[in-house]
Amino acid sequence: MKEVELTITQNEKVSKDIYLMRLEGDVSEIKNCGEFINITLPSHYLRRPISVSDFGEGYVDILFKVIGLGTKDMTALEIGSKLNCLVGLGMGFNLDKTDKPTLIAGGIGVAPMFSVIRMYNEKGIKPQMIYGARSKDDLVLLDKLAKATDLHICTDDGSYGFKGTVLDLIKAENLNIDYYYSCGPYRMLEALAKAYPNGEVSLEARMGCGFGACMGCSIKTINGPKRVCKDGPVFNASEVEF
């Protein structure tokens, strides 16, 4: 973990209530897909934990959805503004598990998948991707995903792609799941873990500190209580007691 000051170089609306922000500076502590950063916002006491969408030398991208006052204020931050951030937080995905990955995302849970896709593409692998959302308005960056993955899309209301959940889509199209990486709503991850224990799930939780000191984000696992911020946010699907 490292405390750094990062500069906003992009803050763009990419879908309904969803924004893509690029921060530049020393992000060398970010090592793995699935980590998160913790951002201090002006006039807000607690930091905001945000998943790393992608990262590289000198930059980190985040996708965020406007949910509360903090994320609403983030949309108004101007290019050139500086933010105090904690980087290099959390345990990410283990990409050594398979050369036939399936990525499963629900809604804004697509955020950490962009770095996973890039990592596999760099190895010459085009992952299978299953992306679900409530409606068409909640889907983001589809052109980018379609180029880099074998993309399957579903929406709850049928406004785009298959009508139904990601589990419904997997069954309807008889998709083969060798090993998967997933992020999305709790109930989606719960259903996935019960149907397909051979994978990894990235969980969300309310965090006080973001680095394991306050124990406020503890969850139950078969190996006892664990902290989402320190021991996760990525866990083996078979480990979590949903």
Q: Compute the mean pLDDT over every residue in the chain, rounded to the nearest whole number.
A: 95
Q: What is the mean pLDDT of residues 93-97?
A: 96
Domain assignment of residue 94, yes or no: no
Q: Which of 89, 117, 139 is the last residue of a domain?
A: 89
Query: Is residue 187 classed exposed, middle or buried when 0-12, 13-18 and 19+ CB atoms within 10 A define those classes?
Result: exposed
Number of structural domains the chain divides into: 3
For a pLDDT cut of 90, what percent of the chain falls above it? 91
CB–CB of 164/171 below 8 Å? Answer: no
Q: What is the mean pLDDT of residues 217-235?
A: 94
Domain assignment of residue 242, yes or no: yes
Same domain? For 213 and 177 the reply is no
Same domain? For 164 and 179 the reply is yes
* Reported confidence tier of residue 104, pLDDT bands at 50, 70, 90: very high
pTM attached to this predicted model: 0.95
* Reported confidence tier of residue 212, pLDDT bands at 50, 70, 90: confident
**The pLDDT value given to residue 85:** 96
Same domain? For 65 and 158 the reply is no
CATH of the domain at 227: 2.10.240.10
Domain assignment of residue 84, yes or no: yes
Parent domain of 211? 205-242
Same domain? For 218 and 198 the reply is no
Q: Which of 89, 122, 152 is the last residue of a domain?
A: 89
The pLDDT tens digits of the residues spanning 6-48 come to 999 999 999 989 999 999 999 999 999 999 999 999 888 889 9
Q: What is the mean pLDDT of residues 94-109?
A: 97
Whole-number Å distance between alpha carbons of 87 and 27 = 7
Domain assignment of residue 174, yes or no: yes
Higher-confidence position of 182 and 47: 182
Same domain? For 209 and 152 the reply is no
**The pLDDT value given to residue 44:** 86
Same domain? For 211 and 226 the reply is yes
Same domain? For 145 and 211 the reply is no
Same domain? For 124 and 193 the reply is yes
Domain assignment of residue 96, yes or no: no
**The pLDDT value given to residue 41:** 93
* Reported confidence tier of residue 74, pLDDT bands at 50, 70, 90: very high
Cα atoms found within 13 Å of the Cα of residue 51, Cβ hemisphere only: 30
Q: What is the mean pLDDT of residues 66-85?
A: 95
**The pLDDT value given to residue 160:** 97
Domain assignment of residue 159, yes or no: yes
Q: What is the mean pLDDT of residues 72-94?
A: 96
Whether 207 shows a pLDDT value over 90: the answer reads: no
CATH of the domain at 139: 3.40.50.80
**The pLDDT value given to residue 210:** 82
**The pLDDT value given to residue 215:** 81
* Reported confidence tier of residue 209, pLDDT bands at 50, 70, 90: confident
* Reported confidence tier of residue 205, pLDDT bands at 50, 70, 90: confident
Same domain? For 25 and 82 the reply is yes
